[in-house]
Structure 1
Amino acid sequence: MEANEDLISALTEAGFTQAELADVVNEYLRDHGHEGTVSDRTVRHWLTGKTRWPHPRQREALEAVFGSTAEDLGFIRPAGRSSPTSEPEQPLRRRNFLIATTGTAATVVSPLSARPSTVGISDVIRLRSGLDALMFIDDTRGGHETLERAALSGATEALDMQHQAASQRIRQRLFSVAADYTATAAWSALDARHSDRAEQHLHQALYLAGMAQDPVVELRVWNSYAMLAHQRQHFTQAVDSAQAAQATAITRRDPLFASLAHARTAVGHSNLGDRQAALRSLGYAAEALEKAEPQQPRPSWIAFYGPAELNAITAIVRDRIGDAAEAEAASHQALSTIPQQFRRNRALATTRLALAQLHQRDIEQACATAATVFPMMSSNPIPGRMRSLLGDYYRDLITLAPKAPVTREWGDRYRLEWSRA
Structure 2
Amino acid sequence: MPTENRILKALLRQYGYTHRSLAAEVNQVSEGIYGRPGAATDRDVRRWVSGHVRWPTTRYLLPLAEIFERPPEAMGFVPRGRSSRLPAPPSRSRPGQEDPVKRRAFLTASTATTVALALGLEQTPTRGRLTMADVDRVNQTIGRLDAHFTVIGGGALLAVATRYLDRLRDTLDGCAYGPRVEQALHSAISGLHASAGWAAYDCGDSTTSRLHHAEALQSAIFAKDGRAQIRAWSDLSVQARADGRYRDALRINLASLETRQARHNPRIAALLHSRLAIGHARVGDARSAARALLAAQSAYDRFDTADPAPPWLRFLDAAELAGLAGLAHRAVGRLPDAEIATTQALDLLGLSMHRNRAYYGVQLAELQLAQGDTTRAKATAAAVDTAAVSSPRIAGRLATVHHHLATI
Fold match, TM over 0.5? Answer: yes
Question: What is the aligned partner in structure 2 of residue 408 from structure 1?
Answer: 406
Alignment of 1:248-327 (within 5 A): 248-327=259-338
Question: What is the aligned partner in structure 2 of residue 390 from structure 1?
Answer: 398
Q: Does 1:157 align with 2:154?
A: no
Please tell me whether the aligned partners of residues 214 and 236 of structure 2 are also in contact (alpha carbons under 8 angstroms): no
Question: What is the aligned partner in structure 1 of residue 356 from structure 2?
Answer: 345
Counterpart code for 1:366: A
Counterpart code for 2:388: S
Question: What is the aligned partner in structure 1 of residue 203 from structure 2?
Answer: 192
Please tell me whether the aligned partners of residues 235 and 272 of structure 1 are also in contact (alpha carbons under 8 angstroms): yes
1:325-379 per-residue CA deviation (whole Å, 9 max, x = no partner) reads: 2112111211111112111111111122222322332221112112222xx1113
Q: Does 1:212 align with 2:198?
A: no
Question: What is the aligned partner in structure 1 of residue 387 from structure 2?
Answer: 378
Q: Secondary structure of the equivalent of 2:388?
A: coil
- TM-score calculated relative to the size of structure 1: 0.67
Note the C-alpha offset of 1:278: 0.8
CA distance in structure 1 between the aligned counterparts of 2:8 and 2:401, rounded to whole angstroms: 44
Q: Secondary structure of the equivalent of 2:177?
A: coil
Given the alignment, which residue of 153, 156, 173 partners 1:142?
153
CA distance in structure 1 between the aligned counterparts of 2:360 and 2:249, rounded to whole angstroms: 21
Paired residues in the alignment total 314
Question: What is the aligned partner in structure 2 of residue 330 from structure 1?
Answer: 341
Question: What is the aligned partner in structure 2 of residue 108 from structure 1?
Answer: 121
Please tell me whether the aligned partners of residues 115 and 160 of structure 2 are also in contact (alpha carbons under 8 angstroms): no
CA distance in structure 1 between the aligned counterparts of 2:196 and 2:243, rounded to whole angstroms: 19
Please tell me whether the aligned partners of residues 335 and 349 of structure 1 are also in contact (alpha carbons under 8 angstroms): yes
Note the C-alpha offset of 1:300: 1.4
Question: What is the aligned partner in structure 1 of residue 15 from structure 2?
Answer: 13
Please tell me whether the aligned partners of residues 151 and 389 of structure 2 are also in contact (alpha carbons under 8 angstroms): no
Please tell me whether the aligned partners of residues 107 and 150 of structure 1 are also in contact (alpha carbons under 8 angstroms): no
Note the C-alpha offset of 1:233: 1.4
- TM-score calculated relative to the size of structure 2: 0.69
Q: Secondary structure of the equivalent of 2:235?
A: helix
Given the alignment, which residue of 126, 129, 133 partners 2:140?
129
Note the C-alpha offset of 1:101: 8.2
CA distance in structure 2 between the aligned counterparts of 1:364 and 1:199, rounded to whole angstroms: 38
Query: Taking CA–CA contacts closer than 8 Å with sequence separation of 6 or more, which of the two structures ends up with the larger relative contact order?
Result: 2
Note the C-alpha offset of 1:110: 3.0
Note the C-alpha offset of 1:235: 1.1
Please tell me whether the aligned partners of residues 218 and 245 of structure 1 are also in contact (alpha carbons under 8 angstroms): no
Max radius of gyration: which structure?
1
